Structure 1
Amino acid sequence: MRQAVLAFALAVSLAGPAFAADRVTGKAFATRSEVFAPHGMVATSQPLATQIGVDVLKKGGSAIDAAIAANAALGLMEPTGSGIGGDLFAIVWDARTQKLYGYNGSGRSPKSLTLEWFAKHGYSDIPPTGPLPVSVPGCVDAWFALHDKFGRLPMKDLLAPTVRYARDGFPVSELIAYYWQRSVPRLSKYPGFAEQFTRDGAGPAKGQRWTNPNLADTLETLGKGGRDAFYKGRIAKVIGDYMKANDGFLSAEDLAAHRGEWVEPVSTNYRGYDVWELPPNGQGVAALAMLNILEGYDFGKIGFGSVEHVHLFTEAKKLAFADRAQYFADPAFASLPLEGLLSKDYAAQRRKLIGETAAKSVDAGHPPLDDGDTIYLTTADKDGNMVSLIQSNYRGMGSGMAPTGLGFILQDRGEMFVLKPGHPNSFAPGKRPFHTIIPSFVTKDGKPWLSFGVMGGAMQPQGHVQIVMNLIDFGMNLQEAGDAPRIQHDGSTEPTGQATAMRDGGEVNLETGFSWETVRGLMQKGHKVTYADGPYGGYQAIAWDEKNRVWIGASEGRKDGQAAGY
């Protein structure tokens, strides 16, 4: 332990600011300036996907059209975090109705698989790869539902750029190549993976041109046949036959029964700004609960990166995540005290549990009962529509199960279920698992201000809170807010919610850029402080500048991405 602390201290003392320190404007840790454009904006984690989205906007497409086109491209170009074998969530600001809409595009567990089956076969947890964690992919259904409501251009036109890149090839970018190569040894044992996602047994190198003709065929099928071509046609049969041949449970009948759901976004007000998330089965409410707790402190007098800042943030996270583990699940199967969790009075109760030293043990609270790896992208169009969209296979490239000839990998989101009878997130047939991927949105006085997201498992609600605080409490601009060094607390309540309390205090992972004085002060408060190799997420954002009537875009330096507009 002492060696780890000394190594961390050396890293912090040598590193200085997180990024280039020779900028003549703004914060030293910013990687680039914000991007400004008068008509439209797209921000994704891959520059070619961003350009596809901008092209769609220039052709008269809506923000939803651009988001679908960019998401399709990311499924090809960044299969380490996305693809049509995964799920999708979105928040849409519709300029015509001046209203936010939410879509929960998460799929359900196979109806032929039961909790009793896992118990009979000796499983205490659902494995992260292979056939057992596979649930229905909800992405394609979400595309068509969003397009039916807000789209303008034909779906085949939105998918066409990705089809061309899939046939002609695209150069793989640096970070994506890194994660792709790391996935190959884990997943090549599963049928169809090596054949479709390696060349000579290896993942692509940085800059290597990559093709995926199978995915091109699949996307062309969707462009011609629509949503049902995926859920009720040949594709569904191929998936069902493939899973049955490889000891899986997901069937063509499970796919045919799937429908996503329009949901009402939920919010809390943080210092005059309404921060919006989607309700469970996702974890967005944890971000709102953290903000409610932190609102009780005056961060105008607490500096960014200070001991007090990191300590209060970490302790608020522990409290919110204890409730996350206890209560968050598919609301069709579990009663969720949503209003209670978002109550300011409940936040005040939880805030009283934060002391001067690190809490080692945190239990879930008792909110009042109600009466009732990943990509993120955001788009905005000339009419004022905005989209906050997040999509994932879970665990990078997902389950490793790559159905024959289709060019994509099925997600492993079912790993998030627990195998504990009676738990709200316990496995059941036809149930949606607890979800980590969450889009976010911020309004001010009922008007759209910010569409943003932070990728990365349990980092996501923590990242959302840090972005909001960086912008509102610490006065950073849109790019600086994403580039600022991040905090991630890891504790025993991650990742599946099997534990409802934290017993060891967890660890505070501090990204390069925090001072040694902060590290030392946190350790004196009893925190276990360490550093890690890249768990700090990835961020994209678009904001509306009402005064100047322009879009502002940001894409952080931790990913390969780009914000661009016209």
Structure 2
Amino acid sequence: MSKATIGASVMVASPHALASAAGARILERGGNAFDAAVAVSACLAVVYPHMTGVGGDSFWLMYHAGDRAVRAYNGSGRSGYGATLDAFAGEAAIPERGVRSVVTVPGMVDSWDAVVREYGRMRLGDVLEPAIAYADKGFPVSPDQHKDTRLRREMLASERLAARIFLPSGAVPAAGARLLQRELAHTLRRIAAGGREAFYKGDIAGRIASFLKGRGGLLGADDFADHSGNWVAPVTGAYRGLELVQLPPNSQGFAGIMAAHIVENCDFGAIGHGSFEYYHTLIEALKLAFRDRNAMLTDPDFAAVPVSDLLDKSYCRRLFSQIRMDRALSLTPERLGSDTAYAAVVDREGNAVSFIQSLYFEFGSGVVAGDTGVLLHNRGSFFSLDPVHVNRLEPRKRTFHTLMPAMVLREGKPYLIYGTQGGEGQPQTQTALLTRIVDYGMDPQTAINEPRWVWGRTWGDASEGLRLESRIDAAVADRLRQAGHQVQAAGSYDGVVGHAQAILIDGQGYRIGAADPRSDGSAIGW
């Protein structure tokens, strides 16, 4: 298993070694954490195309040491002007794949520009150089990309342009094979030269919109031109004297704080880590948080989300009292995409960035927009077509979003920067890492390596399955089954439970980085 990396001044952790190296290269060249984070983000958009891409969304949580404050950037896109319920009349749901699943503008490029412009030292073009090089000259297909390409071969083969890139010669590329994305390299060069305007108001947007219109899509050039992300105030909570920080709605971040507020009522000192009591308590607390999240989370510009009430500690204490140790709560889970990429960066000045990005499902919509090389996401497919649902489709609206980068502050400064890939699994893994590090004293690599679980329909299952890694004790799995959990077996280190990364800053100021052995990542520090 991979070991924690300790650095005295800087640290980068991401789910792909090439992306981590790109961030380290920018730091060596004099860039700060914000420059390096954008370099990692852009590199992931090239070398991890099944998880993320230029055609997707991103969320950013950033601590600026000079300001001694955390700010957040919502880089998610809104639905188009033509995205109405009538556009899907007679259909039970928005299609999950294909052109008609693309109903929201990709928000990630805007976020790159915003982060570098606000806090970076380098030009956007400079930090995009590693990504451009990998797109143009090629990179080795990672084991995780090979696995997902094999699983989604039929879907990719059905789209000629996607197949040409991701199934070269009509076959699934082997792990280690060189993959080229030269059209994407050309698009990235134009973004490097012209910034966000080149993507949203220039020829790129026009070509994407024209392509979609020709295939019956709903996004037009005006939707791209009118897009902008937002600087937003984070949502905060507290756990054992530490400050928890997350993105506000339309992110599900508050659900992670809510779960922490619920389990804070548990005396983990009285129960062993890895015991039935440990797993059952966390799983049930998360179900209770999900119940409220599912009923209320949407774009706050369209409906109020009562975050303060949900995070109230007395309310969370009452929820904790509803947990029964002999019976699992039955809850119908949402169907959420799982394919995402999380990364973290800390620099020598103490700036810290926690960020996450996604195409929603693996390879997103499966649609590459013409000759741009941009693989488009399908995040908007999660909108509801029920006219009374809080997350119903409406024009210029952001959907319920699973992306939730996290940060923990100690005495006002970053202590733990962490997050994970995996839709419904994100608050689950974050809660596991928080309790393992804070309550059980684990270092971040041990906390990530320890067996994990994931509950829900992340993989499109019809049931509310609880997947347990096989390293979880069989007797514990049996007790969970007896309590009513629908236990399903997962591999010993199974990517289905997510790819987590973390950086911890200890009392001496050392940065301790960890990358998930379930991913293709690495932590680099010095």
The TM-score by the shorter chain falls in which range?
Answer: over 0.9
CA contact (8 A) 1:376 1:455 kept: yes
Secondary structure of 2:265's match? Answer: coil
Partner of 1:277: 246
| Residues 1:457 and 2:417 aligned together | no
| Residues 1:133 and 2:93 aligned together | no
Identify which of 362, 371, 391 aligns with 1:425: 391
Partner of 1:26: none
Runs of 4+ in structure 1 deviating by more than 4 angstroms, as ranges, are none
1:46-57, aligned counterparts within 5 Å?
Answer: 46-57=16-27
Secondary structure of 1:258's match? Answer: coil
Cα displacement string for residues 475-499 of structure 1 (whole angstroms, at most 9, x for unaligned residues): 11110111111121226xx799xxx
Cα displacement string for residues 374-429 of structure 1 (whole angstroms, at most 9, x for unaligned residues): 11111111111110010111101100111111122110001111111121101111
| Residues 1:155 and 2:124 aligned together | yes
Q: Which residue type is aligned with residue 284 of structure 2?
A: E
Q: Which residue type is aligned with residue 421 of structure 1?
A: P
Partner of 1:515: 473
CA contact (8 A) 1:317 1:489 kept: no
1:465-476, aligned counterparts within 5 Å?
Answer: 465-476=431-442
CA contact (8 A) 1:192 1:402 kept: yes
Q: Give me the TM-score of the superposition, normalised by structure 1.
A: 0.88
Partner of 1:180: 149
In 2, Cα distance between equivalents of 1:319 and 1:383: 39
| Residues 1:539 and 2:497 aligned together | no
Identify which of 267, 276, 281 aligns with 1:298: 267
> Which ranges of structure 1 fall in alignment gaps of 5 or more residues?
1-30, 365-372, 497-501
Identity %: 40
Secondary structure of 2:170's match? Answer: coil
| Residues 1:347 and 2:347 aligned together | no
In 1, Cα distance between equivalents of 2:290 and 2:152: 29
| Residues 1:205 and 2:174 aligned together | yes
Q: Give the 3 Å change call, closer, same or farther, for CA 174–362 of structure 1 in structure 2.
A: closer
Q: Give me the TM-score of the superposition, normalised by structure 2.
A: 0.95
Q: Give the 3 Å change call, closer, same or farther, for CA 561–362 of structure 1 in structure 2.
A: closer
Secondary structure of 2:131's match? Answer: helix
In 2, Cα distance between equivalents of 1:487 and 1:196: 34
Identify which of 386, 394, 405 aligns with 2:360: 394
Identify which of 264, 281, 298 aligns with 1:329: 298
CA contact (8 A) 1:176 1:560 kept: no
CA contact (8 A) 1:454 1:463 kept: yes
Secondary structure of 2:289's match? Answer: helix
Partner of 2:521: 561
In 2, Cα distance between equivalents of 1:194 and 1:243: 18
Identify which of 12, 26, 46 aligns with 1:42: 12
Q: Which residue type is aligned with residue 483 of structure 1?
A: N
In 1, Cα distance between equivalents of 2:167 and 2:306: 46
| Residues 1:146 and 2:115 aligned together | yes
Shift of 1:64: 1.0
> Which ranges of structure 2 fall in alignment gaps of 5 or more residues?
334-338
In 2, Cα distance between equivalents of 1:154 and 1:80: 28
In 1, Cα distance between equivalents of 2:285 and 2:299: 24
Shift of 1:431: 0.6
In 1, Cα distance between equivalents of 2:482 and 2:374: 49
| Residues 1:124 and 2:92 aligned together | yes
Q: RMSD over aligned Cα, in angstroms? A: 1.7
Shift of 1:85: 0.1
In 2, Cα distance between equivalents of 1:524 and 1:216: 53
**Greater Cα shift, 193-202 or 59-68:** 193-202
Identify which of 478, 481, 486 aligns with 1:528: 486
In 2, Cα distance between equivalents of 1:223 and 1:360: 50
In 2, Cα distance between equivalents of 1:380 and 1:477: 17
Bigger Rg, which one: 1
**Greater Cα shift, 104-113 or 228-237:** 104-113
In 2, Cα distance between equivalents of 1:436 and 1:339: 19
Cα displacement string for residues 18-68 of structure 1 (whole angstroms, at most 9, x for unaligned residues): xxxxxxxxxxxxx23210112211111111111111010011101111111
Partner of 1:164: 133
1:432-451, aligned counterparts within 5 Å?
Answer: 432-451=398-417
Secondary structure of 1:510's match? Answer: strand
In 2, Cα distance between equivalents of 1:526 and 1:405: 51
